[in-house]
Structure formats: C-alpha cells, structure tokens
Amino acid sequence: MKINHTGGLALVVILAGAAPVRASGHGPVFGAATPTLGRGGWSLDQAWTLRAGDDAERQQMLKTMLSFGVTENLQVSGSFPLAMSDGRLAPARMMSAMSSDREFEALTSYRFQRRTVGIGGRQESTFYVGGTAPLERQRNGTNAGGSVEGGIATGYASRAHYIWVGGSVQHYLQRGGDMQSDSRLVTAVYGYRPPPLRTEAGKPDVRFFVEVTAEDRGAARTSGVETAAGARTVFIGPTTLLLHRAIGFEAGVLFPAYQRVDSTSVKEHVRVAVNVAYFFWLK
C-alpha cells in the first residue's frame, strides 16, 4: 500500500506554526456526536481504519481531516485519503464523520440546540450537511459520481455519562448513466467516565464507549440496471477516547451483530479504527 507523504509534510508545517490549546471537540470513533470546536479553533485528524473478512480479504484506509470552528456552534471540515487498499468487501461507511471511499468530503456542522440539564450535564443537537467529490473514475466497476449528504445527532453529556444517537443519508449522483449505492446510517453511543478519571481541567481525560452502527446500503446501478443487491449491517463494539492538552487519541473495534451482503462480496469479521487529533490555534 503506497502512502502519499504530502499529508505528513502538511502536518509538520501546521505544528510548527501552531499554538497548542486544550483538546476539545471530539466524541466517539464510529458514531455521530455533537461536540464542536470553539470559535477560531482548528483540529487535524489522522485516521487509520481496517475492515477484515472471509478469505483473508482486507480493506485499509489512511485519511486526513482538517476542521475549523467558525463559531462556538458552527464547524466546517474537509477530509481526503492518503492511501487505501481495496478488497471484495461490500461498500460501507465506517466513521460517521469521515468517508470510507477515495473521495474528498466537505462537511458543515451546526449545533442548533444546547441546554443545561441538572448539575454539570447538557443536552445538545447538531445538524450535518455536506458532499463528496470522487478521486477515481470508477468504483467496483461502476462510474463514481459525487454525493450529497445530511445527518443529525443529539445526546446528553455529563462528567460521568454520555449518550448520543444519530443518523445520516448519503445520496450519490449519476455519472455516465451509472450511480453508486446510497447509504442510510444510524448510530448509537453510550460512554462512561469512571470516578477516578473525573479530574479537573488540564489532566488526562479518558472515556470508554460502547458504539453501534447500522447501515442500509442500496444497490449500485450500471446503465440503469441494478448490479448488486446492496447490503445491510449492524456492528457493535468497545472504543475509548483520551484527551490531554492539545492531543486526542481514540481507538476501537466493532464486531458484526448482523449482516446481509450481495453474492459478489464477502462478509466482514471485524472493523478497527484508530484516530489521532491535534487541536491548535493559528498565530
């Protein structure tokens, strides 16, 4: 798998000219959540994901996402792939905030509701809208077009407990008479921070999650004819998030609870994701 080193060079340049701030604006690994960056804050995420299935089939992705907090409640993000390896696994969206295909993705997040609940708790709701532009002409034998997407997440967060539910729809546009399969994704997250880890600001912040993703992937069309039966999957598993100063580290693994894929694809055994984030202000 060849890796483009341009992203690594960009990271060095940004780190050299950045002033670190306390990490914020991050939630679970796979599921949709409501955190946003503060006004003028930036974050640079580097994600690695792995999908492994029958017959030793694997699909890996290395992707970078850059985000900026326009206001306390408005955030814009852009992600692009550095490297990917293909396999016979059915198309899937692993991470709600980052596409799993060879495409540039732009997302706008607007937190339209936030209110205090009890002591130290808050309820939030965030709306997402964006689109993608493919970096390849074909995908799985079908012409690859751009897409438009929208989603919503709502939840509750306190010093001890975190609960988020969310959903999104990604609709692909036609290209040369072909159309990639649409995705409908639903996620649920429960997080817990044990008493010894409920420390004051500036100390390492560790949280543990159980995440669930359920996706209904439609059938791709070639010259107006369906070429596959699509896929339906439900995955569940543990993840963790560590925040300290200007660094965020999160990782997790999901296992299939249910999956139905077409005859040309193989079933998955496991999904793995690791993401490292750096939060900063430009001077």
pTM assigned to the model = 0.88
**How many CB atoms neighbour CB 189 within 10 A?**
25
The answer to whether residue 1 sits within a structural domain is: no
Let me know: does 223 contact 177? Beta carbons within 8 Å: yes
Let me know: does 234 contact 92? Beta carbons within 8 Å: no
The answer to whether residue 271 sits within a structural domain is: yes
The DSSP secondary-structure symbol of 54 reads G
Average pLDDT, the chain: 87
The pairing of strands 138-139 and 103-117 is unpaired
Domain count, the chain: 1
The answer to whether residue 236 sits within a structural domain is: yes
The answer to whether residue 46 sits within a structural domain is: yes
Query: 84 - beta bridge partners?
Result: 61
Structural domain of 190: 6-282
Q: Which of 79-93, 113-127, 174-188 has the lowest mean pLDDT?
A: 79-93
Which residues, at least 6 apart from 134, have a Cβ–Cβ distance to it below 8 Å?
101, 102, 103, 144, 145, 146
Q: Which of 53-57, 131-135, 233-237 has the lowest mean pLDDT?
A: 53-57
Return the CATH number at 229.
2.40.160.40
Half-sphere exposure of 204 (CA within 13 A, CB side): 8
Let me know: does 182 contact 218? Beta carbons within 8 Å: yes
pLDDT in tens, 251-270: 999 999 999 987 777 889 99
The answer to whether residue 158 sits within a structural domain is: yes
pLDDT at 263: 73
pLDDT at 1: 38
The answer to whether residue 268 sits within a structural domain is: yes
pLDDT at 14: 36
The answer to whether residue 55 sits within a structural domain is: yes
Give mean pLDDT, residues 159-176: 95
Residue bearing tokens 């077409």: 262
The answer to whether residue 156 sits within a structural domain is: yes
Half-sphere exposure of 228 (CA within 13 A, CB side): 26
pLDDT in tens, 94-104: 999 898 889 99
Give mean pLDDT, residues 133-156: 92
Residue 46's closest CA among 248, 187, 282? 248
Give mean pLDDT, residues 25-34: 87
pLDDT higher than 90, residue 65: yes
Let me know: does 185 contact 221? Beta carbons within 8 Å: no
- Which pLDDT band holds residue 219 (cuts at 50, 70, 90)? confident
